[in-house]
Amino acid sequence: MTIRFGIMGTANIARKALIPAMKRAKDVQVVSVASGSGKAKAFAEEMEIERYHDSYEAMLEDETIDAVYIPLPNTLHKKWTIAAARKGKHVLCEKPAAITVQDAEEMVQVCEENGVTFMEAFMYQFHPQHNKVRDVIASGEIGEVKHMRATFSFYLGDRPENIRLNKELGGGSIWDVGCYCIHSARLILGSEPIRVFAEGNVPENVGVDLSANGILTFPNGVTASFDCSFERQMNNVYEVFGTKGSIKVPYAYRPDAPHAEGLIEVTDSSGEIRHERIEGEQYTLMVEHFAESVKNRKIPSYSGELTVNNLKVIEASYASLEKQSPIPIR
């Protein structure tokens, strides 16, 4: 069984990452693209896609499509996820799935009610380097985990027209890259935080956080720090610190970037460092997992519940940023 995808929009993430990944993936086919801006035909020709639609509504009426990929602006995810679900289309939705917990809960509920698979496209987690990190932690090699530190930044520059700086469309560094740091802390530590304290740089003339950092506290007393920024050079790394050693993943979120790779560095109590290289194509692995979930009618390993939990932490982080005080995570 082949899962046939329609692409809702002509975003660069679709052009550069998801469509190439879908073309590499097993039992997956890209059959159509839709755009409301008149770009669909040219995009379809460029990407060698068979059909195009000049509206998202028309795509959802296309009976040859099993699933849609939604890379639209953050604030449009809810509308088109729900519309797709009601037309019986499975949904792979770009992160963040929504910009409120309530919206995400509604999206997940509607997908469940209509019997379609929903998954938020946090691609990085499907790279096998993270399973290796968890295996090392479980082995006891670094002792008892006490803290994790995660960073994701890149230099956006003076680009006021960029969607990442548009508050009305869900802009801000936590929404765009900090969400990865928060997600990886929950993934690697295998627990949900109970409190967050965040600070950041929110210029009045911009209206969104250009940089932010925070501390997550977990029920067992373990902590995780995150920092994210549009104001610094590219950096995407996390480190896990234990009583006997530590683990560093230098290309945690973009091992597919130029000059990057799947790699973990394990430091023991004597300071000796062991390097392990792990290969994997995270976008393709994500698409294949989603397709398998659809075919086997199984909830994806990254479920709607986990999506909602991640958004709870992000929402609390923004509340903390605004109030300048620690916020409990409900």
- Catalytic residues, by residue number, are 95
Token readout for 316 is: 């609390």
- Rounded to an integer, what distance in angstroms lies between the CA atom of residue 267 and that of residue 241? 10
Question: 142 with 240: CB under 8 angstroms?
Answer: yes
Question: 144 with 138: CB under 8 angstroms?
Answer: no
Alpha helices in 48-178 (DSSP H): 56-60, 77-86, 101-113, 129-139, 173
Q: Which of 289, 160, 146 is nearest to 225 (CA)?
A: 146
Distances (CA, A) of 24 to 21, 78, 123, 151: 5, 28, 15, 30
Token readout for 116 is: 């379609």
Question: 48 with 15: CB under 8 angstroms?
Answer: no
Question: What is the bridge-based pairing of β-strands 223-229 and 211-217?
Answer: antiparallel
Non-local CB neighbours of 16 within 8 Å, separated by 6+ positions: none
Non-local CB neighbours of 323 within 8 Å, separated by 6+ positions: none
Q: Which of 253, 111, 118 is nearest to 179 (CA)?
A: 253
- Strands of the chain (E only): list them: 3-8, 28-34, 51-53, 67-70, 90-93, 118-120, 145-155, 195-201, 211-217, 223-229, 231-242, 246-249, 263-267, 273-277, 327-328
